[in-house]
């Protein structure tokens, strides 16, 4: 049998509700019905297509012949109800014309704002023509009906209410499936949103600079008789940038701030220089907390060099056995002494004893070939 109607529905609305009109048109034309219902009723998967949505630039006056033809060619009339459409003369004329066609049962109401039968012009959502024509008591599908806590779910329920009335099927026949589909979509969007947020957080995190705290540790044998570490200069090389700062003691540290995140856990070159300690130039993986081992230079207080000299005879004390802090040593033919003392036994000053009287028996370190110990 040939379908006498060109349009499944005609949407009547106020120009102030244009967004709702367009949204409803898209919703109806693209709504896919369950395959079982389509098979049962002989529908296509998208049975509500096409839906006529009138232009918004219609001039005041009587309905044009074109609009009258559109209304005649439409199986259903859908009125978007709001205080705007309730005050619209044009909406009233479209309802009345469709009513005169004898299709009262095919007039459907979709409430987007206002209150049905409030009798208050500010809130009434039904056009006065509804009461004037004595149309059957119709509440219409209302997006603000509070069935669920989520407003968006109430809105979807109103869509399905309208669809079930348009197609003449039980509401539950499509609502339960529609709600399950919405839940799945919401879950997918939530999971996708979480994944996007996680990805953005990850990108944000790896783009953030970080601070590297540098600690210095004396890895050599500790000796309380020697001066502690003081003013160690630490230099870090980052591509074309060099950061340098000073650590005052082993109990303190320094912080290199705002290091680009790309250097985290990447090899960087670091050098350390400090008086009485061996210079260090190394490469290690950079982390927010780094401990660098340095070693005391054992030669500074361990290489003992000096010359003996007799002030009366103006001669050196050659081939003579001396004791430097208990370590036995013999002067050479020119009266020079050279001895290395292990790190654990080193001191800032050494007591020297000899078989002859010494004018000064204390040797202050570090010492060198120009240091002279005088004998009487």
CA distance 342 to 324: 13
Predicted local distance difference test score (pLDDT) of residue 244 = 93
Q: What is the pLDDT of residue 191?
A: 86
pLDDT at 1: 44
Question: Would you kindly state where each structural domain of the chain is located, as residue ranges?
Answer: 7-169, 210-296, 299-375
| Strand order through the sheet with 267-273 | 241-247, 232-238, 267-273, 280-285
pTM of the shown model: 0.54
Task: Report the mean per-residue pLDDT for the chain.
Answer: 88
Please tell me the predicted confidence (pLDDT) of residue 57: 44
With cut-offs at 50, 70 and 90, classify the pLDDT of residue 86.
Answer: very high
CA distance 298 to 66: 105
pLDDT in tens, 182-223: 778 778 888 888 889 988 887 787 778 999 999 999 999 989
Domain covering 7-169 in this structure, CATH number? 3.40.50.10140
- Judge whether residue 247 has pLDDT over 80: yes
What pLDDT is attached to residue 3?
67
Q: Hunting for tokens 């009233």 — which residue is that?
A: 92
- % of residues, the chain, pLDDT over 90: 53
Q: How far apart are the two ends of the chain, measured CA to CA in Å? A: 140
The answer to whether the beta carbons of residues 343 and 300 sit under 8 Å apart is no
H or E element in which residue 254 lies = strand 253-259
Please state, in angstroms and rounded to a whole number, the distance separating the CA atoms of residues 271 and 255: 15
Q: For domain 299-375, is the CATH number 2.60.40.2070?
A: yes
What integer pLDDT is reported at residue 2 of this predicted model? 53
Confidence band of 56 (pLDDT split at 50, 70, 90): low
Q: How far apart are alpha carbons 202 and 62 in whole angstroms?
A: 62
> 173 pLDDT exceeds 90?
no
241-250: average pLDDT:
91
Determine the pLDDT at residue 205. Answer: 76
Asked if the model's pLDDT at residue 135 lies above 90, the reply is no
Alpha-carbon Rg of the chain, whole angstroms? Answer: 48
The SS3 of residue 22 is helix
What does DSSP say about strands 232-238 and 267-273: parallel, antiparallel, or unpaired?
Answer: antiparallel
Is domain 210-296 in CATH 2.60.40, yes or no? yes
| Strand 210-218 versus strand 289-294 pairing type | parallel
Do the domains at 7-169 and 210-296 have one common CATH topology?
A: no
% of the chain surpassing 70 pLDDT: 97
Distance of CA 102 to the CA centre of its chain: 61
């Amino acid at each position: 049998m040939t379908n006498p109607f060109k349009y499944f529905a005609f949407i009547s609305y106020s120009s102030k509700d244009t967004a709702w009109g367009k949204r409803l048109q898209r919703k109806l034309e693209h709504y896919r019905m369950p395959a079982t219902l389509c098979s049962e009723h002989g529908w296509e998967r998208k049975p509500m297509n096409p839906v006529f949505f009138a232009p918004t630039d219609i001039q005041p006056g009587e309905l044009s012949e074109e609009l009258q033809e559109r209304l005649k060619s439409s199986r259903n009339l859908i009125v978007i109800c709001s205080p705007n459409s309730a005050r619209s003369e044009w909406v009233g004329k479209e309802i009345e014309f469709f009513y005169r066609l004898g299709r009262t049962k095919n007039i459907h109401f979709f409430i987007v704002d206002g209150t049905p039968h409030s009798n208050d012009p500010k809130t009434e959502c039904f056009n006065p023509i509804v009461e004037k024509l004595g149309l059957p008591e119709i509440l219409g599908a209302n997006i603000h009906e509070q069935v669920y806590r989520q407003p968006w779910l109430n809105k979807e329920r109103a869509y399905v209410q309208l669809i079930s009335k348009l197609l003449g099927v039980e509401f539950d026949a499509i609502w339960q499936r529609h709600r399950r589909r919405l839940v799945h979509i919401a879950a997918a969007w939530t999971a996708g949103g979480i994944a996007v947020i996680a990805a953005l957080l990850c990108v944000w995190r790896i783009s953030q600079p970080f601070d590297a705290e540098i600690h210095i540790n004396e890895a050599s044998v500790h000796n309380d008789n020697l001066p502690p570490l003081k003013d160690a200069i630490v230099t870090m090389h980052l591509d074309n940038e060099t950061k340098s700062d000073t650590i005052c003691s082993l109990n303190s540290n320094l912080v290199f701030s705002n290091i680009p995140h790309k250097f985290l856990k990447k090899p960087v070159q670091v050098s350390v220089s400090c008086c009485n300690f061996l210079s260090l130039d190394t490469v290690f993986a950079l982390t927010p907390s780094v401990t660098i081992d340095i070693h005391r230079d054992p030669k500074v207080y361990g290489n003992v060099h000096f010359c003996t000299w007799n002030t009366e005879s103006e001669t050196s004390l050659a081939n003579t056995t001396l004791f430097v802090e208990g370590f036995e040593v013999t002067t050479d033919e020119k009266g020079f002494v050279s001895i290395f003392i292990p790190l654990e036994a080193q001191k800032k000053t050494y007591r020297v004893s000899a078989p002859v009287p010494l004018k000064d028996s204390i040797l202050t370190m570090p010492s060198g070939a120009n240091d002279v110990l005088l004998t009487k």
